[in-house]
Amino acid sequence: MAARIVDLHKHYHLGDEAVYALNGVSLDVPEGDYVAIMGPSGSGKSTLLNLLGCLDRPTSGSFFLGDEDVAQLDDDELSEIRASRIGFVFQSYNLIPQLTVQENIEVPLYYMGQLTPESRQRCSELAQMVGLGDRLLHRPMQLSGGQQQRAGIARSLANDPYFILADEPTGNLDSVTTSEILGLLDKLNDAGKTIIIVTHEEDVAARARRIIRLRDGKLQSDVRHRE
């Protein structure tokens, strides 16, 4: 399912001062695309990430997932969209330390009320796919950073999302592990999964098919360098 934002604006008020975080951004993300979003501090990329992740609503404009304008939904509806249609990968992994790898991967299904023997088996298969088949009963503190991020990627796939939204997914990893994680994202994209990655690292962005740059809340450039 494609994602599309149209003339998106996001304004905040800090006391009497208005902060214009996004100013009329429009872009399409076709199904199966791999997009890197870049920009300096204050460019609006974190705000755009929050809007794409249905963690916030725009001041004005539209955000379509398929034919549905999710910018118009209330908090409960946005929560359901996040749980059922979007997979998140975080810089700090955001694994629950008390849970095993298997249980962490299952978390999205638990919150959706869809944890069944069949779905648990699928989570085990996702762990196998990301190279953690022999770590299912380990807890996050027993894993390396790269292994924790692999668990995070498997968790992001548990609900079979429309797209994966990755926020600086290699920011805490060394260069070798970064290459391994990016290789895993490449394989997911090659298999048809839509990926949107927010990064400040040029070599990470270069792995995407397309690089979008923001500056001062506006779209500065949108360059597709790989089909």
* The pLDDT of residue 150 is above 90: yes
Q: Mapping DSSP to helix (H, G, I), strand (E, B) and coil, where does residue 23 land?
A: strand
Give me the chain's average pLDDT, please. 93
The closest alpha carbon to 33, from 167, 213, 146, 163, belongs to 163
The closest alpha carbon to 67, from 150, 139, 148, 162, belongs to 162
What does the DSSP assignment read for 51-95?
HHTTSS--SEEEEEETTEEGGG--HHHHHHHHHHHEEEEETT---
Tell me the average pLDDT across 77-81.
91
Tell me the average pLDDT across 209-216.
96
Tell me the average pLDDT across 166-175.
93
Number of domains in the chain: 1
Answer yes or no: is 17 within a domain. no
User: How large a percentage of the chain has pLDDT more than 90?
Assistant: 85
* Residue 87 banded pLDDT, cuts 50, 70, 90: very high
* Residue 143 near residue 177, CB atoms below 8 Å: no
Lowest mean pLDDT among 11-20, 23-32, 94-103, 168-177: 11-20
The enclosing H or E element of 103 equals: helix 101-112
Answer yes or no: is 11 within a domain. no
Answer yes or no: is 64 within a domain. no
Q: What is the CATH number of the domain that holds 35?
A: 3.40.50.300
What is the spatial distance between Cα 110 and Cα 156, in angstroms, rounded to a whole number?
A: 13
Q: Which amino acid is located at 37 in the chain?
A: I
Answer yes or no: is 35 within a domain. yes
The predicted pLDDT at position 17 comes to 85
Tell me the average pLDDT across 38-56.
92
Q: Which domain holds residue 98?
A: 31-57+79-224
* The pLDDT of residue 107 is above 70: yes
Answer yes or no: is 196 within a domain. yes
The predicted pLDDT at position 154 comes to 97
* The pLDDT of residue 1 is above 70: no
Answer yes or no: is 6 within a domain. no
